[in-house]
Amino acid sequence: MVEQSYGRGVFYVLLAVLGWSLSGVFVRFLPDLSGWQINCWRGYWMSVALLIYLVAAYGRDTPRRFSEIPLAGLVGAAFFFALGSTLYVTSLTYASTAVVSVIGALSPIFAGLMAPWIIGERAGISAWIAAGMALIGVAVIGWDGLSSGTLIGLILSLGVPICFAGQTVMLRRYRAHDMMPAICIGGFATFLIAGLFGGGFHVTLYEVLILALMGPVQLAIPLIFYGKGARSVPAVALSLIVMLDVILNPLWSWIGVGEKPGLSAFIGGAIIVAAVILCILGERVFAFRATLAARGRRAPQTG
């Protein structure tokens, strides 16, 4: 596989976040559907789109792309995607969106805790500071809704960032492979779980068509870019950049239907943007300064 620069990886992740942030726009066209129904058919069309992508990219070699991924990576990535999607939908029935969003902001922290043990990747001090800042920023945005939610809702919500962190670490661990086959399997698993246990199969033809657009645009294409970004961006940075979704999602609603965010959204958003910038540039700045200091120590002394 051709080596990829860190900057290109960050660019791919930003493209992924741009696509993911369109979820609110699509949901506005589906006011009568439950989270289970959306999750069911969005997952199905995502997997169909990923299959089309894989066949277009690899042709007759597509089956081998599934089989060449180590079993642990194939099962792990599919499991984390399916479980994370299911927990997200379920948690929203027990806790407010604000609570789920704030707990979801723990994903970079969980990724930082998992990465050293699974892939030997340790986050630097700037990444940990940025993760804390992002958590504060999301908390500021969702402060008004933090009081609602049951204990079971909080527990279920906690599984969402754990699963996303696990999926991210899997993508990093097996970055030598195209991991979209594993996500494809996870999408079909989500379709079955949401359909059989959440009644997700029951939608109208109009709703299926909207979800047929949502699956590829809002999920499949962003996941392809996210998988590409995972080749050169550390796990914690991956999870942190995704926090920009908290800002972009309401931004599209503001632009599209005039739903102006409150002051807390602007304050929290500014904190999150600062956190992402710190994460993207922080380690590079520290490394550059350390290199300059080392060169200075090696420079011959004149007197």
Q: What is the pLDDT of residues 243-288, one digit of tens each?
A: 888 788 777 777 766 667 677 778 888 888 888 888 888 766 655 5
Q: How far is CA 258 from CA 27, 99, 251, 255, in A?
A: 16, 24, 9, 6
DSSP conformation class of 149:
B
- The per-residue pLDDT for range 145-164, each reduced to its tens digit, is 666 666 787 788 889 999 99
Average pLDDT over residues 115-130: 85
Q: Is 242 exposed, middle or buried (0-12, 13-18, 19+ CB in 10 A)?
A: buried
pLDDT digits (tens, 9 = 90+) for 19-35: 998 887 888 888 899 98
Cβ atoms of 101 and 164 within 8 Å: the answer is: no
The residue among 3 and 286 whose pLDDT is bigger is 3
Taking each helix axis from N to C terminus, what angle separates 151-173 and 71-91, rounded to the nearest 10 degrees?
A: 150
CA 76 to chain centre: 16
pLDDT confidence of residue 289: 57
Alpha carbons 297 and 293: distance in angstroms, whole number: 6
Helices (H), the chain: 6-20, 23-27, 35-58, 62-67, 71-91, 97-104, 107-118, 125-141, 151-173, 180-198, 205-214, 221-229, 235-241, 245-257, 263-298
Write out pLDDT tens, residues 168-222.
999 999 999 999 999 999 999 999 999 999 899 999 999 999 999 999 999 999 9
pLDDT greater than 70 at residue 290: no
Mind listing the pLDDT tens digit for each residue in 57-86? 999 999 999 999 999 999 999 999 999 999
**pLDDT the model gives residue 167:** 95
Q: Where are the domains of the chain?
A: 6-293
CA distance 143 to 116: 32
178: which DSSP letter? -
User: CA-CA distance, 104 to 160, in Å (whole number)?
Assistant: 6
pLDDT at 303 over 50: no
- Measured between alpha carbons, how far is 227 from 288 in angstroms, rounded to an integer? 28
The confidence score (pLDDT) of residue 37 equals: 93
Given this model, what pLDDT does residue 256 score? 67
Q: Compute the average pLDDT of residues 37-51.
A: 96
What is the rounded average pLDDT for all residues in the chain? 85
